Amino acid sequence: MECLPGFREFYPEPLPHKDAWSADARQHIFDTWRSTARRYGFREFDGPPLEPLDLYTAKSGAEIVGQLFNFVDKGERAVSMRPEMTPTVARMVAAAERAYKKPIKWFSIPQLFRYEKQQKGRLREHFQLNCDIFGEADLGADAEIVALLIDTLRALGLTEDDFVIRLSSRQAWQRFFASNNGKPDQEYEFYQVIDKVERETPEVSSARLKLLGIEYAAVQDFIRAGEPTPELAILLENLKARGLGAFVKVDYYVIRGLDYYTGVVFEAFDRKGEFRAIAGGGRYDQLVKLLSQGKVDLPALGFGMGDVVLLELLKARGKLPKFTAGVDVVVLVEEESLRASSLALVQALRDAGRVVEYSLTPAKSDKQFKRAIELAARFTARVEPDLDGTKQVRLKNISTRSETIGDLSAAIAATA
C-alpha cells in the first residue's frame, strides 16, 4: 500500500533519503508566500478541494475531463478534485463581492490535482500560490501584481541574476493580428501558434501561420523589435519607480495559451533558462462574468506559482536555508530525583515560547548532551540540586560553552 504514483509524502529534515520531499522546505515556501502576500495587503481565502465537475467543464470544455481526478460521489453528484483555483475564487468573489471594498486583493495556497500521463518525475498534485486582484481595471493593478510576483521570489532569496519576468500583452498581439489582416474568428488559433513559436521549428510555425494568412517574418520582426505598447510602457514606468526595473523585460514570445486573458500577460523564468516557467499570469477581465453566468462583472488579474519548479530552482541556486528542529533549549535530567523539578523547568521555558526538548526516560548525562548537539540546540539547562531551598538553573550556551547559574526568570531572559 504504497503512496499513489504522482503523489508526494513530505518528511521532516534531516530527510531519510536524498529523493524524499522536505516538509520543512515546503513550509519555508508557504511561509514566504504568505508573508509576502500579506505585506502587499493581500488576504487569504480557501475553497473546497472537491468541487462540482461542471465548475471546470463550464470554463475549459469537456476535453478537460480527461485530465481530472473526477468521479460520481455517493449522492450521485459528478465531482472533481480541483485542478485549478480560478473557478472557485470567481464563484466566491461573485457571491460576496458586495461585502468587500474594491479592489479585492486575495491569495490562497491550494493543493491542485491533475491526472497527467505518467512520466518519470511527473507529479499529479502540486501546491500553488494564487494571487488575484478583482475590481480594478487600471494598469496600477497590473504593476502591483507583477511587483508582488517579483517580491515573492526576492523574499525566497532569488535575485535579478536568478530570474526575470517576461512581460507581454494580449492587446499587442491583437493589434498585430488585426493590422496583418487576420480574421477575427481565427484569433484564438493565432494565439495558440504564437504560444508555441519559441519551441517549434521555424518551418512548423511558418506553415501554421501561413494557414492564418500571417507572414512568419512579420511575427519574427515584431518579437525582435520588442517595442513596448503604451500599456506596457506605463507598467514598466511604475515598476521602475519601485526600483524593480531590472527584474522585467518585454518579451512578446509570451502570450499564455489560455483563451481568457485580455490584457497584460507575464511569465517568470530563471535567467539561465534551465527550468520550466516558475509562475505565470495576467489580466482576465471577462472571466468573472463568464463564470458567474453574467451575475457579476469585475475586471480581474492574477498569477499562479507552483511549488515544484520553484523548489528545483531554489535547490539549484543554493537558496534553501539549512533546516533544523529549531530547538532553543535541551533540559538535561541528570538525576531522576530532579525529574519533577526538571519537568517544571521544561514547562516554564515552553510557556515562555522556547522550543524545548528533554529525555522522556532516564538516560546517561553524556548521551543527553550528545543529543543536544545533534539537535543543534542553542542551550542546555539543568536544575541545580537544592542547597538553600531555591531552585536554580544552570544554563550552558552550546556555541560559546559558557555557563551561568541563575533563577528561572534569568534563564528565560537568557534564552530569548
The residues in 120-139 that bind a copy of itself, with binding defined as CB under 8 A, are: 125, 136, 138
The residues in 62-81 that bind a copy of itself, with binding defined as CB under 8 A, are: 66, 69, 71-75, 77, 79, 81
| Segment 55-59 long-range contacts (CB within 8 Å, at least 24 positions apart) | 55/80, 55/87, 55/88, 55/91, 56/80, 56/83, 56/84, 56/87, 58/87, 58/291, 59/86, 59/87, 59/260, 59/287, 59/290, 59/291
Please pick, from the candidates 28, 92, 216, 391, the single residue that binds a copy of itself as defined by CB under 8 A.
Answer: 92
Instruction: Determine, following the binding rule CB under 8 A, whether residue 346 of this chain makes contact with a copy of itself.
Output: yes
CB of 12 to a copy of itself, least distance (A): 3
- Residue closer to a copy of itself, measured from CB, 321 or 326: 326
Instruction: Determine, following the binding rule CB under 8 A, whether residue 335 of this chain makes contact with a copy of itself.
Output: no
Please pick, from the candidates 141, 167, 265, 393, the single residue that binds a copy of itself as defined by CB under 8 A.
Answer: 141
Instruction: Determine, following the binding rule CB under 8 A, whether residue 151 of this chain makes contact with a copy of itself.
Output: yes
Picking from 34, 35, 40, the residue whose alpha carbon sits closest to that of residue 244 is 40
Single out the segment in contact with a copy of itself by CB under 8 A; choices: 191-199, 207-215, 252-260, 335-343: 335-343
Angle between helices 139-155 and 23-39 (to 10 degrees): 140
Instruction: Determine, following the binding rule CB under 8 A, whether residue 230 of this chain makes contact with a copy of itself.
Output: no
Please pick, from the candidates 29, 55, 194, 279, the single residue that binds a copy of itself as defined by CB under 8 A.
Answer: 55
Instruction: Determine, following the binding rule CB under 8 A, whether residue 389 of this chain makes contact with a copy of itself.
Output: no
- Residue closer to a copy of itself, measured from CB, 68 or 254: 68
Picking from 162, 178, 157, the residue whose alpha carbon sits closest to that of residue 25 is 157
Is the distance from CB of 36 to CB of 152 less than 8 angstroms? Answer: yes
Q: Rounded CA gap, 376 and 325, in Å?
A: 8
The residues in 356-375 that bind a copy of itself, with binding defined as CB under 8 A, are: 356-357, 360-361, 371, 374
CB of 164 to a copy of itself, least distance (A): 18
Single out the segment in contact with a copy of itself by CB under 8 A; choices: 182-190, 227-235, 341-349, 393-401: 341-349
Burial string for 338-365 (b: 16+ CB within 10 Å, else e) reads: bbebbeebbebbeebebbbbbbeeeeee
Is the distance from CB of 58 to CB of 64 less than 8 angstroms? Answer: no
- Residue closer to a copy of itself, measured from CB, 141 or 255: 141
Please pick, from the candidates 183, 353, 364, 365, the single residue that binds a copy of itself as defined by CB under 8 A.
Answer: 353
Single out the segment in contact with a copy of itself by CB under 8 A; choices: 15-23, 166-174, 298-306, 387-395: 15-23
Please pick, from the candidates 61, 121, 184, 243, the single residue that binds a copy of itself as defined by CB under 8 A.
Answer: 243
Please, which residues bridge with residue 280 across strands?
267, 304
Q: Rounded CA gap, 283 and 287, in Å?
A: 10
Distance of CA 379 to the CA centre of its chain: 34
The residues in 254-273 that bind a copy of itself, with binding defined as CB under 8 A, are: none
CA distances from residue 254 to 52, 194, 213, 402 in whole angstroms, order as listed: 32, 8, 21, 59
Q: Rounded CA gap, 144 and 394, in Å?
A: 52
The residues in 16-35 that bind a copy of itself, with binding defined as CB under 8 A, are: 16-17, 20, 23-24, 26-27
Is the distance from CB of 131 to CB of 34 less than 8 angstroms? Answer: no
At position 236, the amino acid (one-letter code) is L
Q: Rounded CA gap, 239 and 293, in Å?
A: 35
Picking from 172, 171, 174, 192, the residue whose alpha carbon sits closest to that of residue 182 is 174
Instruction: Determine, following the binding rule CB under 8 A, whether residue 376 of this chain makes contact with a copy of itself.
Output: no
Instruction: Determine, following the binding rule CB under 8 A, whether residue 96 of this chain makes contact with a copy of itself.
Output: yes
The residue count for binding a copy of itself (CB under 8 A) is 98
Type and span of the H or E element at 292: none
CB of 209 to a copy of itself, least distance (A): 35
- Residue closer to a copy of itself, measured from CB, 58 or 410: 58
Please, which residues bridge with residue 304 across strands?
130, 280
Instruction: Determine, following the binding rule CB under 8 A, whether residue 179 of this chain makes contact with a copy of itself.
Output: no
CB of 233 to a copy of itself, least distance (A): 14
The residues in 289-328 that bind a copy of itself, with binding defined as CB under 8 A, are: 325-327
